[in-house]
Amino acid sequence: MTKPSRATLKSFAKVHKPGYDPAELRPGIVHFGVGNFHRAHQAVYLDDLFGLGLDHDWALVGAGVRKSDDAMRDILKAQDWLTTIVDQEAGHSEARITASMIDYVTISTDEGRKALMYYLTSPDIRIVSMTITEGGYYIDPASQYFDAAHPDIIDDGAHPEKPKTVFGLIVQALKLRKAAGVEPFTIMSCDNIPGNGHVTEDAVVGLAKLSDPKFADWISANVAFPNSMVDRITPATSAREREIAARDFDVEDGWPVFCESFKQWVVEDNFPNGRPALHKVGVTFSDQVGAYELMKIRILNGGHAAIAYPGGLLDIHFVHEAMEHPLIRRYLEKLTRDEIIPEVPPVPNTVLEDYRILIDKRFANPSIGDTIRRLCLDGSNRQPKFILPTASDRVAKGASVTGLALVSAFWCRYCYGTTDSGAIIEPNDPSWPRLVKQAALAKDEPAKWLEMEDVFGHLAANPAYVAAFSSALKRIWQDGTAKTLELYLAGESL
């Protein structure tokens, strides 16, 4: 086994190596949120582009605002910022080492904060991108608009000279760039949020208004926030992945990334200060990003939620194992065809049924190692984005929401904190104590779960949705997960 580094790159025989010299790269993008998805997605596309001998002045600089980011930074620094990416499909696996990131700074120290601001104010940095999860945008779950009253935002608004959030750092950097006569960078979200560019703009402008309303207006008029859709299934890294990387590829990577082979990136072409030629490596630039994004969020992310909670309640560990369970797989198919696809508008060059079949195949990939627990994470942020909007569209036109309400009922039962077998479910949401308390109340009175109006919004008062949800939750408690799925698939009343 060999640790990846620039000095050892040539020694690896079982992995694909960068087709360029990392020492020749120059920074062009600062990226907040250097997690597994970013390293398997944006960083890979850039690695492909650099391998064509193009745009070597668009290298990545990672940025972190949480204390936990320091661990990732330390591991990657010891590897000269290199990452081992392992694509896994049934019967096939291959690895590559990417070198598209050339530095990584965090704000846990004054030195790191200064280094980050140096990059953010440099004319070389023309894009600031982010993967900070759905919960990182300070969105009020009920209204789905920026929450200017969040304590983190209030603190950054009161102390704009020493911000702690991604958006506070961006506002500070833009102001310094404006004062120095440096063109503003483009701000690009790469998170699974409908209209993520608009959402990001709301956060940046909304925060700026708290300390300098005129500058907030300047940001609105001068800074670009392109929308994007991103897709690649990327599990968390565990000892399992480190062992496979060492055993199969002789790479002793401290934080390898395992993922499926499939990847997709659709971006609105709105980059006034320039962009890398990512269209040459498979990125789609389109003025219809919203259509792609809605399809992906409702069918893929909504589908993940649909299989996650019944899988968790049935003590299933891996996602592909859930897809091997005939009731869960048939539930996903029926729900998607009957209630989700009818609420997805047409998408350019896409047949929605073909897309559904592709998603089914991707979920069933036995090699990827994605876990049910990962899919169950952070339901309080994900349900209002992936499940409830579809339900809202259907009740508005008087259509059935039996299957969608069942997804949320399984989520409620999961948050009770035990599986059907009685096994304890460890905390799996930033709001876990609240969810456990509410789920206990809802065991006898299902509508208690819907009292979380910050999650359910107007659905909490919709008689049709309340009835569907209440019936589903009562049935789950009465008959268990498997029997409830059987009844739903048979078309019987829950």
pLDDT digits (tens, 9 = 90+) for 429-460: 999 999 999 999 999 999 999 999 989 999 99
What integer pLDDT is reported at residue 306 of this predicted model? 98
For residue 476, give the 3-state DSSP assignment.
Answer: helix
Distance CA 212, CA 207 (A): 9
Report whether pLDDT(143) > 80.
Answer: no
Using CB atoms within 10 Å of the CB of residue 362, give its burial: 0 to 12 exposed, 13 to 18 middle, 19+ buried: buried
Which DSSP symbol is given to 254?
S
Residue at token pair 């208004």: 209
CB 297, CB 308: distance < 8 Å: no
CA 234 to chain centre: 10
Distance CA 123, CA 436 (A): 49
**Backbone φ, ψ for residue 296 (5° rounding):** -65, -45
Distance CA 458, CA 359 (A): 30
pLDDT single digits (tens) 270-303: 999 999 999 999 999 999 999 999 999 999 999 9
Alpha helices in 83-165 (DSSP H): 110-121, 151-158
Residue at token pair 């209204």: 143
Using CB atoms within 10 Å of the CB of residue 379, give its burial: 0 to 12 exposed, 13 to 18 middle, 19+ buried: buried
Residue at token pair 């107007």: 458
Report whether pLDDT(117) > 90.
Answer: yes
- The stretch 38-66 carries a mean pLDDT of 98
CB 235, CB 39: distance < 8 Å: no
Residue at token pair 């991707």: 362
Residue at token pair 């939620």: 305
- The stretch 241-250 carries a mean pLDDT of 96
What integer pLDDT is reported at residue 140 of this predicted model? 84
For residue 255, give the 3-state DSSP assignment.
Answer: coil
Distance CA 403, CA 153 (A): 37
Structure tokens that stand for 32 in this block: 């907040």
Report whether pLDDT(201) > 80.
Answer: yes
Distance CA 366, CA 369 (A): 7
Please report which confidence band the pLDDT of residue 90 belongs to, taking 50, 70 and 90 as the band edges: confident
Which DSSP symbol is given to 371?
B
Please report which confidence band the pLDDT of residue 396 belongs to, taking 50, 70 and 90 as the band edges: very high
Note the pTM of the prediction, 2 decimals.
0.92
The string over 388-427, giving b where at least 16 C-beta atoms fall within 10 Å of a residue's C-beta and e elsewhere, is bbbbbbbbeeeeebbbbbbbbbbbbbbbbbebbeeeebee
- The stretch 379-387 carries a mean pLDDT of 94
For residue 89, give the 3-state DSSP assignment.
Answer: strand
Other CB atoms within a 10 A radius of the CB of residue 296 amount to 22
What integer pLDDT is reported at residue 112 of this predicted model? 96
Give the chain's length: 494
Cα distances (angstroms) measured from residue 357 to each of 188, 252, 304, 364, 391: 30, 36, 14, 11, 22
Distance CA 290, CA 359 (A): 19
Distance CA 24, CA 105 (A): 20
Report whether pLDDT(141) > 80.
Answer: no
pLDDT single digits (tens) 418-427: 999 999 999 9
Phi-psi region of 64 (alpha: psi -120 to 50; beta: other; left: phi over 0): beta
Sheet of strand 27-32, all strands in order from the earlier edge strand to the far edge: 101-106, 59-64, 27-32, 127-130, 186-189
What integer pLDDT is reported at residue 210 of this predicted model? 97
pLDDT single digits (tens) 297-351: 999 999 999 999 999 999 999 999 999 999 999 999 999 999 999 999 999 999 9
Distance CA 299, CA 332 (A): 10
Q: Are strands 228-231 and 264-267 parallel, antiparallel or unpaired?
A: antiparallel
Mean pLDDT of the chain: 96
Sheet of strand 92-98, all strands in order from the earlier edge strand to the far edge: 92-98, 83-89, 257-259
